[in-house]
Structure 1
Amino acid sequence: MSTETRASALDAAPPQGYGAVFRVREFRAVFAAHLLSLLGVIVSEIALTVLVYELTNSPLLSALTFALGMLPYLIGGTLFAGVADRYPARRVLVVCDLVCAACVAVMIVPGTPVAALLALRVLIAAIAPVFTGTRMAALTDILGEGDLFVLGRSLLRIVSQSAQLAGFGVGGILLAVVSPRGAITITLGTFLASAALLRFGTKARPARTRGSATLLRESLSGARLVFADRRMRAQILLFWIPAMFVVAPEALAAPYAAHIGAGPAALGLMMCAMPVGHIAAELWVGTRLSGRTRSRIVYPVAAVGLLPYLGYAMAPGLGLTLLLLVLAGAGGAYVLGLDQWFVATVPEELRGRAMTLMTAGLMTVQGAGMALAGLAAEFWPVHQVVTGAGVLGTALSVLLVWEARRAGAEPPVHT
């Protein structure tokens, strides 16, 4: 199917609602596997951080354990992206889950050195973008390239946001009942269950390409092809640039709560506000808007989504801060339309690599954004740093929207 025909089908389709996605049997298996593996990752992150601290009594190593969950994304997503197109998707997904399960199995062995625990943490994190990109590409096989794909992708994203809210609470409760290694043992079961659901709940499909080059060369060539194409480059940057700046208040939530004299409960509300705004907006856009309308709001919402951060210039109290964070979270709803564009533009033989790269880059720029916000807060007050993130992020987003328009990033609509 040509890019124009796919774009027309995506944009012109009426809204179907999330219920239509759950009527697809294979998606139900993917959804359940996603929920299990995601909770497993979050709980294992918390438990492993506590375990490393118990073994070393080092706050630095404990914090490093958590940070290592984001750092290898760029490496794994760039060097191993070719796996997503070179091998059958179901096989890649199942093997990724089994490798993660094997890593967790070693973690729970008493006497495993701290260095080995950290290395295993890095390996799991390096696998994550390959798994996520392969699954995203596989959704086009399961749900097609139309509205169902956009809604299915949206549901997985909503679950990810919700799991972050619930996962830390579940992890805390587990650690109050069992040891850190006991909590990690539970995640071993979630990875194995996810592998079983994907193996027996989805169909075997052939690989997208039969590459003759080495895996590394094929992965790097995929990145070059994505960034050499002006339209794909503009689209992928529309995913990345706003995301880099939107994380600033989350990274600085603790010092800002201290600045306004708020307690731990208020800090928890501040951490939840942005995901709540994003989930609510994404559900509304996915349910109420057609594919054409989702496409139309991409540019304006991407351009203004960071403007709520300008309210931090007044050093607002808790109530207004929560409102600003909810509004900033709601600004992320433009990605549903952007998902439409991306799947309509990327050639099928490049889809796995492109989506793996997009996922890896997204996590990397968010980690970089958090680090840069923390660094800036060493020199300027927190509310000024968040305001600056809003100003700079909006300026770059507007420039990016201008470039995306010139590049024709929005696929043409043919009625």
Structure 2
Amino acid sequence: MATTTAHRAARGGYRPVFRVREFRYVFAAHLLSVLGIVVAEISLTVLVFRATGSPLMSALAFALGFLPYALGGVLLAPLADRRPARSVLTACDLLCAGCAAAMVLPGTPVGALLALRAAMAFVAPLFQGTRNASLGDILGTGDAFVLGRSLMRMVAQSAQLVGFGLGGLLLTVLAPRTAIVLTAAGFLCSALLLRCGTRARPARAAAGTSAAAAARTSPLAGIRAVLGERRLRALTLLFWLPPVFVIAPEALLAPYADAIGAGTAALGVMMCALPVGTIAGELWAGSALGPEARSRLVAPLAAAGLLPLLVYAVRPGVPVVLAALLAVGLAHAHTLGLDQWYVDAVPEELRGRAMTLLGTGLMAFQGVGMALAGLAAEFVPVHLVVVGAAVIGTAVVLLLLAELRSATRGRGPRNETGHTAK
């Protein structure tokens, strides 16, 4: 079934993926949970600010969506392979629903609200990694897996664009605690969809293979198992490191808009440019290109992805910045080919942990990129910080691509997609 789906996906873009019944349930659950998280973030921020009158506490409520993420990703990653995927996903959703329901209770102190938000963030990487790994069981590890992952990313990007607007609209007619009720309901519906719509499968690392045994000993052993192999390490870093530099123009859009005299309306449009370009690039690559073409585009698109930001050297106006950010987003189409290379390189018994760590690293390195961009902008003009990010980021990508080529040599014949045959 998975092989047939992969062949159909190669011919028909995203539509054949939706013909897989289990994927439809997973996709719907993902949509509900992502929207729930977005609504919870904006509602909790407003709720904490109204309760304390403190901008710091309000910002902390939002930051707690990120801070425990890395810790949860490292400590909980073994569960992604040691426990059945359906059980892990359902348990995470139920825990988040319980946390959201507790936020709704009248009189819940601010400290408890923040702790509940941290608990939701703590289990998020386990949920996401397990779900991404389970796509390989549902769709196979061929092209259908790549397209399924792409759809999940596009939902997350779209939810950020739509969800914050929806959350703001909800708060004009609902109290923050009432809005959070919708978050709890969303997680409950997601748990129900996953429990009833997906098959029960055994834990991926149940077999006593040496790799699985090594991965179960400790979180650090699992990290070594994922990052210890040279080619897999290079692929992982190709996911992790470019966002450090891609995030720079987004993190500095507000001060840049102020520097060129752009208004708040222009700032809002510019903030949408990169995610819109990312969605458009993935749609194009997933719909118009086959697996071989996407594989061939990985290196050129990854290498050129940051080059449009060099236009910041002349302190351009809004139209040029919009075009540059859209181009950077479009280059994100290379991720589909990179996804295929990654899943081909990961041993099946480590897939859940690898996907969990991959998502954890992506989140953590984006945070690092924001912090570094802000720090650099304290000493260097904003437009030069963005140019520096483009130059350094391009050099880093080229080095990683060279390392990947070197690691791939001698691993055996390559198949028609450019991957090493297994």
TM-score w.r.t. the length of structure 2 is: 0.93
Q: 1:32 to 1:11 in 2, by over 3 A?
A: closer
Residue 414 of structure 1: how far off its partner (Å): 2.9
What's 2:420 paired with?
Answer: none
- C-alpha separation in 2, matches of 1:171 and 1:82: 34
Letter in 2 for 1:227: L
Ranges of 4+ aligned residues in structure 1 off by more than 2 Å: 9-16, 210-220, 409-415
Matched positions, count: 408
Other-structure match for 1:3: none
Write the letter of the residue equivalent to 2:79. V
Q: CA RMSD in A?
A: 2.1
Cα offset, 1:310, TM superposition? 0.9
Q: Which residue of 2 aligns with 1:145?
A: 141
SS at match of 1:403: helix
Is 1:10–1:340's contact at 8 Å kept on the other side of the alignment? no
**Whole-Å Cα distance in 2 between the matches of residues 214 and 34 of structure 1?**
31
2:32 corresponds in structure 1 to: 36
| Greater mean alpha carbon deviation, residues 146-155 or residues 70-79 | 70-79
> How far is 1:217 from its partner?
3.7
Structure 2 residue runs of 5 or longer lacking an equivalent are: 417-422
Do structure 1's residue 368 and structure 2's residue 352 form an aligned pair?
Answer: no
Change (3 A) 1:217 1:233: same
More relative contact order in 1 or in 2 (CA 8 Å, sep 6+)?
Answer: 1
What are the equivalent positions in structure 2 for 1:4-19 lying under 5 Å apart? 14-19=10-15
Structure 2 residue 165 is matched with structure 1 residue 165: no
- Counterpart Cα distance in 1 of 2:8 and 2:406: 23
**1:178-193 matched pairs, under 5 angstroms:** 178-193=174-189
Given that residues 11 and 413 in structure 1 are in contact (C-alpha distance below 8 angstroms), is that contact kept between their aligned partners in structure 2?
Answer: no
Corresponding residue for residue 386 of structure 2: 386
For 2:21 and 2:292, how far apart are their aligned partners in 1? 27
| Post-superposition CA distance 1:196-252 (Å, at most 9, x none) | 000001111010113798998443222111111001100000001111111111111
Distance 1:102 1:118 in 2: 14
Q: Which runs of 5+ in 1 are unaligned?
A: 1-5
Deviates more, 1:227-236 or 1:111-120: 111-120
Matched, 1:330 2:308: no
- Among 57, 64, 78, the residue aligned to 1:61: 57
Task: Give, in angstroms, the shift of residue 31 of structure 1.
Answer: 0.5
Would you say 1:194 and 2:195 are equivalent positions?
A: no
Identity percentage over the alignment?
A: 61
The Cα offsets for residues 138-168 of structure 1, whole Å up to 9 and x where unpaired, read as 0000001111111111111111111110001
Q: Is this contact kept in 1: 2:80–2:353, CA < 8 A?
A: yes
Equivalent residue number for residue 121 of structure 1: 117
Secondary structure of the residue aligned to 1:192 is helix
Which residue does the alignment assign to 1:99?
Answer: 95
Q: Cα distance, 1:10 vs. partner?
A: 8.2
Report the residue type matching 2:68 in the other structure.
P
Matched residue, 1:136: 132
Give the 5 Å matches for 1:267-346: 267-346=267-346
2:70 to 64, 67, 74: 74
**1:412–1:113 Cα change, 3 Å:** farther
Partner of 1:43, secondary structure, is helix
Tell me, in whole angstroms, the C-alpha distance in 2 between the residues paired with 1:202 and 1:37: 16
* TM-score calculated relative to the size of structure 1: 0.94
Larger deviation, residues 107-116 vs 351-360: 107-116
Determine the C-alpha separation between the residues in 1 that align with 2:183 and 2:157.
19
Checking the alignment, whether the CA contact within 8 Å between 1:252 and 1:382 is kept in structure 2 is: yes
CA distance in 2, matches of 1:117, 1:176: 21
Give yes or no for contact 1:47–1:181 (8 Å, CA) kept in 2.
Answer: yes
* Structure 2 residue identity aligned to 1:173: L
Q: Report if the CA contact (8 A) 2:214-2:222 is conserved.
A: no
Q: Please tell me whether the aligned partners of residues 12 and 291 of structure 1 are also in contact (alpha carbons under 8 angstroms).
A: no
> Which residue of the partner structure matches residue 414 of structure 1?
415
